[in-house]
Homo-oligomer: A and B are copies of this chain.
Amino acid sequence: MLDPLLATPAVLRLIDLAVEEDLGRGDITTEAVIGNAATATADLVAREPLVLAGLGVCTAVFQRVDQAITSSELAKDGDRVAAGTAVARYSGRAASILAAERTALNFVQRLSGIATMARAFVDAAGGSGLRIADTRKTTPGFRLLEKYAVRMGGASNHRFDLGSGVLIKDNHVAVAGGVGKAIEQTRGKAPHGLKIEVEVDSLAQFEEALATRADIILLDNFSPADVAKAVGLARQRSPRPLVEVSGGITLKQIPELAAAGVDIVSSGALTHSAPAMDLGLDIGLGDQKARI
């Protein structure tokens, strides 16, 4: 079942776009060969090891196509699943299951890809306090779902959008005339519930951010040595700001960053470059069982 808080109007509209694009002109082959009478049962099976995410969306697609399709979910989002594991079973009119199949799979494969990559990053951080966070580099229209998949992989969310967080970047700094000025200007205007985060690209900027009491300081493309220095400086402040690192961070760098005492690593690759995981439907029509 799709969690009610994921079944927002925008997500339902995205599902509708997807159903319309694949099914909006009918399913010629199935109409010709299968007809409306046949029923089927289909198992959604992981074809490789993965962290599951999007099972509810997958179910929602089946039931959007045909509300008479019944589902039983055998695993839940966030589970690590071995190859060959059936994670859900769908039953109903064969024509409906075949019609919904591709769209349903396209969602769950993509979201599981994200959860699986997020989990790998989190695991690499080990027991350290390092938080792995996503970015706004998400598939257009998929942000709520992809940020959910990130959480299902054990990682954490950065701000949802431009209205739910303050992040002062280089252009803001340039216009304001310095890191400190930008921070002061924002503090007076942003909603009082938001911390002030600023992106810096040098230790000098970092120290200016410290001095004006930024809540979070994002190190953009710092060398490992400078990261270490920045963490050291931050720890001398009370209250101490959070130190975040970003910019093409790979899985391999995570342990070193964790060891350096960085608070947060944020990575766009989690959402923009995670390859789809392979899940498929094993469909049984009548007394046979075929793999699609």
Contacts and interface: CB of A to CB of B under 8 A. Distances in A.
Interface of A: 3-5, 8-10, 13-34, 36, 38, 40, 65-68, 93-96, 98-99, 102-103, 105-107, 109-110, 113, 131, 133, 136-144, 148, 156-172, 174-176, 182, 185-186, 188-195, 197, 215-216, 238-239, 242, 244, 263-264, 269, 272-273, 275-276, 283, 285-286, 288, 290-292
B163 A27 contact: yes
A264 B197 CA distance: 22
Contacts of A25: 144, 160-164
Given A36-B3, A170-B292, A8 B20 contact: yes
Contacts of A10: 17, 20-21, 24
Contacts of A263: 192
A15 B140 CA distance: 7
8 contacts: A9-B16, A29-B162, A31-B189, A110-B140, A160-B191, A164-B165, A193-B194, A272-B276
A251 to B, nearest CB: 14
A185 B14 contact: no
* This chain's copy number in the assembly: 6
A33 to B, nearest CB: 4
A23 B8 contact: yes
A32 B283 contact: no
Residue with the greatest number of chain B CB neighbours at <10 A, chosen from A38, A140, A141, A286: A140
Contact of A171 (B4, B176, B244, B283): B283
A23 B286 CA distance: 39
Contacts of A285: 171, 174-175
B29 A167 contact: yes
Given A17-B13, A34-B175, A172-B34, A163 B23 contact: yes
Contacts of A174: 285, 288, 290
Contact of A162 (B9, B27, B131, B192): B27
A170 B103 contact: no
Nearest to A189: B32
A144 B94 contact: no
B4 A93 contact: yes
B27 A5 contact: yes
